[in-house]
């Protein structure tokens, strides 16, 4: 008990131990008094920590006013670098982690203070509410842009989609940066960092930026659109989608090709479905001994009977070439672009069947070989 009294650091407690530690009843009474005294010390300690938290809040208020005055002074030409260092040095709250109870009381006091936890809780709530509002605003702006662009037939589907996505993303980025100010983040250094990072990334990704520039040119000049059949570097397929960096093409055998935009813009682009109508170019050969007028009439009848062949422009059927083994006709009907392959296959089959029915031959390649016999001279 003497040790307990000394640890309490109170002279009266030590004296009470010496005078009362004679009977069990006195020891019990002393223990109760020591517990009461410990409770009083703990209560006093909690009050001191609470007062310290209030003092920290007052200090933060004074620092905010001090920084406001300092910023106004700097705008008028004053040099406040050292004063800023001083303000940063005395700002913040120190927590003694070696004493768990004191640390918890300090943290609890900071969380419950108007300039501490409650303030940051309000800022975080404002931040997420602002992000939600920005998200809804971006969705609404995207729908409005889509509605405004859908009635414009002069713009390609790729460009419309790019504008709609760009409007949404720009609003999201600007809204996020503005929302950062609600949690007391200075966006000035953030913007400077983004600018510096953009310069470094631009130097490191020159080829990517070249694809980006080519993608912008493709969107502006519209050499093709989604769903068009194009031919690039010997590859033919349907345009599936496009970003600012690459174009996705699906070939007729269902292969998925991703071509960099720089490769597309730097070569010849053949847009097979760029026009509404297209001419079907067919070549039919007949034998030199066949009736050319009859063959021409057969081809003209097959073309005129096909329901997908257009009347205007009128089809062309003419003798085109006197080849080695055949007399070649060109057969050139006009069709809608989407019907090109159907007409090509149908007319090729029907002309062959009609030639067979009416006795018009399609000769195989042949070559005449002339043999000259030379008589050897008679020796004498």
- Cα–Cα distance, 171 to 141 (Å, whole number): 8
Among 349, 272, 346, 283, smallest CA distance to 309 is for: 346
The number of folded domains in the chain is 4
Cα of 196 vs its chain's centroid, Å: 22
Does some domain include residue 27? yes
- Does 297 share its domain with 264? no
Question: What pLDDT, on the 0 to 100 scale, is given for residue 89?
Answer: 65
CATH at 147: 1.10.287
Q: How far is CA 8 from CA 11, 16, 23, 29, 366, in A?
A: 9, 12, 22, 16, 124
- Does 267 share its domain with 281? no
- Based on its alpha-carbon atoms, the radius of gyration of the chain, rounded to whole angstroms, reads 46
Question: What pLDDT, on the 0 to 100 scale, is given for residue 121?
Answer: 77
- Does 17 share its domain with 97? yes
- Does 104 share its domain with 172? no
Q: Which spans in the chain are helix H?
A: 2-8, 11-20, 24-75, 81-90, 100-112, 117-150, 157-180, 187-204, 206-221, 261-265, 292-305, 340-357
Query: What's the sign of the alpha-carbon dihedral 43, 44, 48, 51?
Result: positive
Does some domain include residue 85? yes
Write the pLDDT tens digit of every residue in 306-326. Answer: 999 999 899 999 999 998 889
Provide the domain limits for residue 231.
Answer: 224-271
Per-10-residue mean pLDDT of the chain, 380 residues long, equals 48 55 60 71 68 67 74 75 68 56 60 64 84 89 82 73 83 85 72 68 67 84 86 87 87 89 88 88 92 93 93 92 91 93 94 93 77 69
**Local structure of residue 309 (DSSP, 8 states):** B
- Cα–Cα distance, 282 to 292 (Å, whole number): 16
Does some domain include residue 218? no
Write the pLDDT tens digit of every residue in 128-167. Answer: 898 899 889 988 888 888 888 777 767 777 777 778 888 8
pTM for the predicted model, two decimal places: 0.51
- Does 96 share its domain with 21? yes
Does some domain include residue 75? yes
Among the candidates 235, 256, 271, a domain finishes at 271
- Cα–Cα distance, 42 to 40 (Å, whole number): 5
Name the phi and psi angles at 222, rounded to 5.
55, 60
- Does 131 share its domain with 198? yes
CATH at 297: 3.30.70.100
Does some domain include residue 209? no
**Local structure of residue 290 (DSSP, 8 states):** S
**Cis amide bond preceding 313, omega within 30:** yes
Does some domain include residue 308? yes
Does some domain include residue 15? yes
Task: Calculate the dihedral angle through the C-alpha atoms of 136, 140, 141, 145, rounding to the nearest 10 degrees.
Answer: 150
- Does 101 share its domain with 36? yes
Among the candidates 271, 299, 330, a domain finishes at 271
Among the candidates 271, 290, 309, a domain finishes at 271
Does some domain include residue 36? yes
CATH at 231: 2.30.30.60
- Does 7 share its domain with 99? yes
Question: What pLDDT, on the 0 to 100 scale, is given for residue 146?
Answer: 80
């Amino acid at each position: 008990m003497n040790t307990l009294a000394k640890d309490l650091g109170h002279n009266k407690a030590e004296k009470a131990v010496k005078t009362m530690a004679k009977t069990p009843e006195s020891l019990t009474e002393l223990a109760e008094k020591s517990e009461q005294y410990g409770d009083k010390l703990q209560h006093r300690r909690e009050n001191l920590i609470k007062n310290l938290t209030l003092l920290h809040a007052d200090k933060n208020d004074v620092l905010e006013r001090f920084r406001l005055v300092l910023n106004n002074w700097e705008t008028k030409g004053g040099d406040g670098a050292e004063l800023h260092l001083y303000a940063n040095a005395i700002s913040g709250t120190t927590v003694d982690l070696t004493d768990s109870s004191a640390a918890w009381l300090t943290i609890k006091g900071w969380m419950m203070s108007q300039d501490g936890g409650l303030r940051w809780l309000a800022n975080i709530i404002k931040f997420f509410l602002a992000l939600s509002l920005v998200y809804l605003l971006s969705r609404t702006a995207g729908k409005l842009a889509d509605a405004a662009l859908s009635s414009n037939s002069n713009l390609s589907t790729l460009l419309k989609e790019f504008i709609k996505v760009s409007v949404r993303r720009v609003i999201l980025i600007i809204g996020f940066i503005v929302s950062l100010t609600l949690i007391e983040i200075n966006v000035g250094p953030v913007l400077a960092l983004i600018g510096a990072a953009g310069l470094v990334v631009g130097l490191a990704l020159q080829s990517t930026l070249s694809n980006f520039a080519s993608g912008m040119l493709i969107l502006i000049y519209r050499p093709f659109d989604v769903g068009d059949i194009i031919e690039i570097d010997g590859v033919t397929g349907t345009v599936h989608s496009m970003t600012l960096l690459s174009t996705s093409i699906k070939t007729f055998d269902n292969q998925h090709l991703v071509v960099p935009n720089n490769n597309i813009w730097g070569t010849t682009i053949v847009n097979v479905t760029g026009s509404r109508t297209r001419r079907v170019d067919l070549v039919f050969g007949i034998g030199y001994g066949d009736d050319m007028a009859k063959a021409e009439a057969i081809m003209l009848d097959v073309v005129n009977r096909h329901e997908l062949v257009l009347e205007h422009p009128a089809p062309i059927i003419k003798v085109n070439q006197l080849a080695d083994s055949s007399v070649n006709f060109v057969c050139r009907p006009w069709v809608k672009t989407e019907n090109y392959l159907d007409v090509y296959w149908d007319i090729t089959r029907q002309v062959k069947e009609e030639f067979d029915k009416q006795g018009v031959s399609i000769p195989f390649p042949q070559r005449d070989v002339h043999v000259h016999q030379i008589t050897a001279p008679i020796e004498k």
